[in-house]
Structure 1
Amino acid sequence: MKFATARVEGEEVIGFIQDSQFINLTRASKGDFPKTMNEALQFGDKLIHKVNEILKMDITEATVPLASVKLLAPIPRPAKNIFCVGKNYAAHAIELGSEADIPEAPMFFSKTPTTVIGPHESIPAHEHVTEALDYEGELGVIIGKKGFAIEKEKAFDYVFGYTIINDITARDLQKRHKQFLLGKSLDGSCPMGPYIVHKSALNHPHALKIETKVNGELRQSATTEQLIFDIPELISVLSQGMTLEPGDIIATGTPAGVGMGFTPPKLLKAGDTIEITIEGIGTLINSVNS
């Protein structure tokens, strides 16, 4: 199942994607449905049952071609900062340093909610504050169940689904300030989408091909089986002293091939288009705007 947030006839609604059609769940349920994705995710896996009940009804008037709606980020305004993982692919750690930079424990940082934008929305170049904007294609994990001190063996019980994240980074700010938050949290620096794919449709999240192209040039190509710290470990470590809640987002890290990893660096500039494709989810496309 693919879930999306979209703007239809000027209204922000939650939808379900089926055969290139957008089913407006807000309209199909005649108002008996959460108004935002954050609210819907509070149902966890029960949301699937609720949608299946709606699909048994006459949904003709609530169904439109997917191409006719404007997709937004699946969670346009997260309730918390996005949890991000640094250097979670060995080759990426090496391209920005050396083998000594491969972490022995997960490196966590965050991006603020104001970073989130949707598919085909413009990424601000922020030329007044950075000269080193970079891309990072990543698998995003959406939490669907409240949990604390989660055991690795039970971690997938707390996952609702998956999406695509572009962890746009201002490398110069990151270096200057000796920490990640500012360089990772410029407005519009977290493109997300186009959908949330329920975990039942991705049985092997650690075997997904991930590719990033910039202006059609392949820059990143890997599979999620190359993650140093897998999804259960990330969830378990995060939750040992922190409560994870429905709607929380974990960006699992980026493979090798970021702009800063090239000699000379291939950093983003106004007009560049970034396409990130993850097997089983789709393609997230955004361009940099001056």
Structure 2
Amino acid sequence: MKYASFTAADGSATWGVIEEGRAFDLGPSGAGLAPSLRAAVEQGLFGAVTAGQYQAAPARPEDGIGFLPAITDPGKIICIGVNYRTHQEESGKTGQTAPTVFTRFADTQMGHRAPAVMPASTTKFDYEGEMALVIGREAWHVAEEEAWDYIAGYGAYNDFSVRDWQKAASQWIPGKNFPSTGAFGPYLVPAADLGGVNRLTLETRVNGETRQKASVADLYFPIPQLIAYVTGFTRLSPGDVIVTGTPGGVGLFWGEGGLLADGDVVEVEITGLGTLANTVERER
């Protein structure tokens, strides 16, 4: 089953189930099951909504809704850098002994079909197709062998990056936190519905051209190790997000014309999670 956050008919934020081209409103403007998708995760509703519950809710065509970030208000967004060998090799960052971790702020996110805003202060705007996971319960000092039990669901992510700001110093946070540069969605799929994620394929396309393609099984630090590492230094709560890393093929290393320009359409497609699409819009 696919869940999403989106705008209601009155423009307010809501969430619900997407099925057969229809968006069923389970939020405050609809069935009122929970105020947000994050709250649904907290309350144990995510992945447990029955057909009777969502089919009785108000529905609109999926094509007519405005998608919001799958989790609009995560308490924490933890991003993992250079976590595929192909990206390590192209960037010269091989031989890692621990994950590279940085943070993204919740208010920098946007949804499927929303513009990816290239800041006026850069000419080095880039894409990073990734898979994100959402934490389902309080997590602190989680053992690797128990890590899968803490995941509520998965979605596609595009960690758009402002490379000159990112590389100006050793800390990456400035280049990863401009407004409307963290695309998340269109859907959040329950972990139980998806099964093993190592069989999934991630593909990033720019104007229809494949730039990145990798199996999730190629993660250098696999998901259980990431959860164990992150919860070794910070508590995670339901609705918190871990963005697991991007494969080789980012625009910075693609060659001439690899970086993004105004009007480019970037798609991140992951098996079973749908296709996240955003058009680059230069800041005016």
TM band (smaller chain): over 0.9
Whether contact under 8 Å (2:31, 2:57) holds in the other structure is no
Q: How does 1:153-168 map to 2 (within 5 A)?
A: 153-168=145-160
Q: Which residue of 1 aligns with 2:183?
A: 191
Q: 1:42 to 1:225 in 2, by over 3 A?
A: same
Q: Which residue of 1 aligns with 2:138?
A: 146
In structure 2, what residue type is equivalent to 1:161?
Answer: G
Q: Percent identity?
A: 35
Q: Which residue of 2 aligns with 1:202?
A: 194
In structure 2, what residue type is equivalent to 1:48?
Answer: G
Q: Which residue of 2 aligns with 1:59?
A: 55
Superposed displacement of residue 8, structure 1: 2.1
Q: Which residue of 1 aligns with 2:34?
A: 34
Q: Which residue of 1 aligns with 2:86?
A: 91
Whether contact under 8 Å (1:15, 1:23) holds in the other structure is yes
In structure 2, what residue type is equivalent to 1:68?
Answer: G
Q: 1:175 to 1:13 in 2, by over 3 A?
A: same
Q: Which residue of 2 aligns with 1:11?
A: 12
Q: Which residue of 2 aligns with 1:252?
A: 244
Q: Distance in 1 between matches of 2:100 and 2:53?
A: 46
Task: Give the gaps of 5 or more residues in structure 2.
Answer: none
SS of the aligned residue for 1:222 comes to strand
Whether contact under 8 Å (2:108, 2:181) holds in the other structure is yes
Q: How does 1:42-53 map to 2 (within 5 A)?
A: 42-44=42-44, 46-49=45-48, 51-52=49-50
Q: Distance in 1 between matches of 2:220 and 2:67?
A: 32
Q: Distance in 2 between matches of 1:233 and 1:265?
A: 36
Q: Distance in 2 between matches of 1:5 and 1:149?
A: 30
Q: Which residue of 2 aligns with 1:107?
A: 100
Matched, 1:286 2:278: yes
The CA deviation string for residues 47-97 of structure 1, in whole angstroms up to 9 with x for no partner, is: 333x12xx32583562332223222111123222x1111111011111112
Q: Which residue of 1 aligns with 2:71?
A: 75
The CA deviation string for residues 5-50 of structure 1, in whole angstroms up to 9 with x for no partner, is: 111212321111222221111379743x111122111124x5333x
In structure 2, what residue type is equivalent to 1:266?
Answer: G
Q: Which residue of 1 aligns with 2:122?
A: 130
Superposed displacement of residue 215, structure 1: 1.0
Superposed displacement of residue 271, structure 1: 0.9
Task: Name the Cα RMSD after superposition.
Answer: 1.8
SS of the aligned residue for 2:46 comes to helix
Matched, 1:269 2:261: yes
Aligned length: 281
Whether contact under 8 Å (2:78, 2:243) holds in the other structure is yes
SS of the aligned residue for 1:156 comes to helix
Whether contact under 8 Å (2:28, 2:34) holds in the other structure is no
Matched, 1:217 2:209: yes
In structure 2, what residue type is equivalent to 1:112?
Answer: F
Q: Distance in 2 between matches of 1:264 and 1:197?
A: 36
Of Structure 1 and Structure 2, which has the larger fraction of its residues in helix?
A: 1
Q: Distance in 1 between matches of 2:31 and 2:257?
A: 52
Q: 1:235 to 1:36 in 2, by over 3 A?
A: same
SS of the aligned residue for 2:199 comes to coil
The CA deviation string for residues 216-275 of structure 1, in whole angstroms up to 9 with x for no partner, is: 111001110100111111001110131111011011000011001123361111111101
